[in-house]
Structure 1
Amino acid sequence: MKKLMKAAVVTLLFCLTLAACGGGNSGANTGTNAGGNSPEAEVKNEKLIVYTNANSDGRGEWLVEKAKSAGFDIEIVGAGGADLTNRLIAEKNNPTADVVYGLNNMLYESLKKESVLVSYVPSWAGEVEAGLNDPEGFYHGLIKQAILLGYNPDAFTAETAPKDWTDLYQNEAFIGKYEAPTLLGQNTPRLVVAGILVRYMDENGDLGISEEGWEEIRKLYDNGVRAIEGEDFYANLASGKTPMGALVSGTLSSKEEQYNVKAGIVSPEIGVPMVVEHVAIINGTKKQDTAERFVEWMGSAEVQGEFVQQFNAMPANTVAAEQANEPIKELFADLKAQPFDWTFIADNIDLWVEKIELQIMK
Structure 2
Amino acid sequence: MNVRGEEVMRVKKVLSVCLAAVMAVSFVACGSKGGSKDDSLVIYTNSGSNGRDAWLKEQAKEAGFSVEVVQIQGGDLGNRIVSEKNNVQADLVFGLNNVEYEKLKAEDTLEKWEPEWAKEVDLSLGDKDGYYYPIVIQPLVNIMSADLQNPPKDYTDLVNEEWKDKYTILNFGGGTGKTILASLLVRYQDPNGELGISEEGWNFVKNWIQNGHMESEGEDYVGAVIDGSRPICEMWGSGVLQNEAERDYKFQVMSPEVGVPYVTEQVAVLKGSDKTEKAIEFANWFGSSKVQEAWMNEFGTIPCQEEALNNAPENVKAFLEGVHQQDIDWAFVAEHLDQWVEKVELEFIQ
TM beyond 0.5: yes
Correspondence for 1:162: 152
Deviation at 1:106, TM superposition (A): 2.2
Deviation at 1:111, TM superposition (A): 0.8
Q: Does residue 1:99 correspond to 2:92, yes or no?
A: yes
Runs (4+) of structure 1 moved beyond 4 Å?
Answer: 257-260
Correspondence for 1:270: 258
Say whether the 8 Å CA contact 1:81–1:187 is kept in structure 2: yes
After TM superposition, the structure 1 = structure 2 runs for residues 299-314 of structure 1, keeping only pairs within 5 Å, are 299-314=287-302
TM-score (norm 1): 0.81
Say whether the 8 Å CA contact 2:180–2:261 is kept in structure 1: yes
* Residue identity matched to 1:162: P
After TM superposition, the structure 1 = structure 2 runs for residues 1-362 of structure 1, keeping only pairs within 5 Å, are 46-129=39-122, 131-156=124-149, 160-169=150-159, 171-179=160-168, 181=169, 183-362=171-350
Q: Which runs of 5+ in 1 are unaligned?
A: 1-44
Which protein is bigger by CA-based radius of gyration?
Answer: 1
The CA distance in 2 between the partners of 1:205 and 1:47, in whole Å, is 49
CA displacement, residues 15-38 of structure 1 (integer Å, 9 cap, x when unaligned): xxxxxxxxxxxxxxxxxxxxxxxx
Say whether the 8 Å CA contact 2:241–2:299 is kept in structure 1: no
Q: Name whichever of 295-304 and 244-253 sits farther off.
A: 244-253
Structure 1 residues 325, 343: closer, same or farther in 2, change over 3 A? same
Paired residue secondary structure (1:131): helix
Say whether the 8 Å CA contact 1:267–1:335 is kept in structure 2: yes
Say whether the 8 Å CA contact 1:235–1:259 is kept in structure 2: no
The CA distance in 2 between the partners of 1:150 and 1:296, in whole Å, is 34
The CA distance in 2 between the partners of 1:222 and 1:77, in whole Å, is 33
Structure 1 residues 65, 225: closer, same or farther in 2, change over 3 A? closer
CA displacement, residues 110-129 of structure 1 (integer Å, 9 cap, x when unaligned): 21121111221212122223
Say whether the 8 Å CA contact 2:138–2:237 is kept in structure 1: yes
TM-score (norm 2): 0.83
* Residue identity matched to 1:114: E
Deviation at 1:258, TM superposition (A): 4.7
The CA distance in 1 between the partners of 2:214 and 2:110, in whole Å, is 36
Paired residue secondary structure (1:219): helix
Deviation at 1:88, TM superposition (A): 0.7
The CA distance in 2 between the partners of 1:311 and 1:81, in whole Å, is 18
Paired residue secondary structure (1:250): helix
CA displacement, residues 220-279 of structure 1 (integer Å, 9 cap, x when unaligned): 123223433321211111121221221222122332345443210122221111112211
* C-alpha RMSD of the superposition: 2.0
